[in-house]
Amino acid sequence: MSAIAPSAILPDDAPHLLVVDDDSRIRSLLTRYLAQAGYRVSAAADAAEARQRMASLSFDLVVLDVMMPGENGVDFSRNMRAAGATTPILMLTARAGADDRILGLEAGVDDYLPKPFEPRELELRIAAILRRAAASTPVTAAPVARFGLCEFHSARGELRRGGEAVRITDRERDILRALVSANGAAVSRAALAGDAAHERTIDVQVTRLRRKIEDDPANPLLLQTVRGAGYRLALGQGMRA
């Protein structure tokens, strides 16, 4: 790959890619190049790390190397599809034989790019896959909830405050999704608790979440307690697609 210019600040709705490659140099180059091309990029060194990232974030596409230690790219793709994941996969491999391509496609891979490759071809293939994915997605895109300085991307499970990403737990993500779905109405502790053993654990989770979204967590304006009913989220600017 040629020299890569510094990436610009990307919009929040830029497609989010996951690069999975055990070669740290290739992983770094791909991350930098794709970010410079206008994508938000996360990276993982192996299948286990990729699975952890996909458990907490939604990705628009996975750029996946075949030859990795432990669970290889073909097995990872097959396991993804078996688990019901529909995220598009672009597989990178030094094996360009027809049998290898067929094996990857049978595992659920959307496209196949042999190494070595031109970065521009990689970019064009990614764009083509994303166009096909967008064409098969319902017009009603998942909304973004705005409250105070925060934005919560329900589909991706991402929270931002003042434009900066905020780290949240899986439980906090579930609570936000439930509150956003209620569109300003109160949601009971029982509904927020879901499978949790005790409804009171929700109070602890809400307290922690308030520290991340409120200017003054002791006097919350956004994540409000509704006496006898539960909690509600004050959507200051409503929803946008």
Q: What is the mean pLDDT of residues 99-119?
A: 83
Within-domain flag for 51: yes
- Asked if 60 and 87 touch (Cβ cutoff 8 Å), the reply is yes
**92 and 51 belong to one structural domain:** yes
Q: Residue 3: is its pLDDT beyond 50?
A: no
Query: Can you give the pLDDT at residue 135?
Result: 74
Q: Which region holds residue 34: left if phi is over 0, alpha if psi is between -120 and 50, else beta?
A: alpha
Domain count, the chain: 2
Write out the residue range of the structural domain in which residue 205 sits.
144-240
Please name which of 74, 77, 90, 107 lies closest in space to residue 39, comparing C-alpha atoms. Answer: 90
Within-domain flag for 1: no
| pLDDT tens by residue, 21-79 | 999 999 999 999 999 999 999 999 999 999 988 887 888 999 999 888 889 999 999 99
**95 and 148 belong to one structural domain:** no
**101 and 161 belong to one structural domain:** no
Better-scored residue on pLDDT, 29 or 154: 29
Q: What is the DSSP letter of 229?
A: T
Query: Can you give the pLDDT at residue 139?
Result: 45
The whole-angstrom separation of Cα 78 and Cα 45 is 18
| pLDDT tens by residue, 190-230 | 888 765 545 667 888 899 999 999 999 999 999 999 998 89
Query: Can you give the pLDDT at residue 169?
Result: 84
- Asked if 41 and 10 touch (Cβ cutoff 8 Å), the reply is no
The whole-angstrom separation of Cα 89 and Cα 210 is 36
**131 and 179 belong to one structural domain:** no
Distances (CA, A) of 55 to 10, 29, 51, 85, 114: 23, 25, 6, 11, 28
Query: Can you give the pLDDT at residue 241?
Result: 36
The whole-angstrom separation of Cα 20 and Cα 43 is 6
Q: What is the percentage of the chain residues whose pLDDT exceeds 70?
A: 84
Within-domain flag for 189: yes
